[in-house]
Amino acid sequence: MGKVRVMIVDDEVDFASTLAERLRLRDFDAQAVSGADEAIARIRGGWPPDVVLLDLKMPGIDGLATLTLLKKEDATLEAILLTGHGSTTAAIEGMQRGLFDYLMKPVDIGELVQRIRSAAAKRVRAAQA
């Protein structure tokens, strides 16, 4: 497996772009998109991520609805919800929809990298099963 592909889906473009750059510096292939439609277009355009980082609160299609749409595109992709507005209810609902993990913003980059690697490893194991 080459570099882990990470897609950041967040309507806060500056945050998403900065996070993508920080992940690229840690040897990930990371891209930032501003919402569900752009994420799906990127996947259909030939850039399937291994792990998706999702913002919970976004205008239009929120993070949980985006998760459902992305899982329809690729049931094996793993997703981590990043939010500053989270709740236990959202975390439980996310897990029921196939969410890998749930982290509160601001997130420690070291912890995030570890969770991304764990999610990518789970995806590889699923592909081999």
Predicted confidence (pLDDT) per residue in 27-74, tens digit: 999 999 999 999 999 999 999 999 999 999 999 999 999 999 999 999
Average pLDDT, the chain: 93
How much is the pLDDT for 1? 58
**Domain 5-123 adopts which CATH fold?**
Rossmann fold (3.40.50)
Do residues 72 and 97 lie in contact, with contact meaning Cβ atoms separated by under 8 Å?
A: no
Least confident of 15-19, 28-32, 51-55, 103-107: 103-107
pTM equals 0.94
Q: So where are the chain's domains?
A: 5-123
Q: How far apart are alpha carbons 105 and 86 in whole angstroms?
A: 9
DSSP one-letter string for 32-56 = EESSHHHHHHHHHTT---SEEEEES
**Which of 13, 5, 48 minimizes the C-alpha distance to 32?**
13
Count the helix, strand and coil residues of the chain and give each as a percent rounded to the nearest 5: 45, 20, 35
Do residues 32 and 16 lie in contact, with contact meaning Cβ atoms separated by under 8 Å?
A: yes
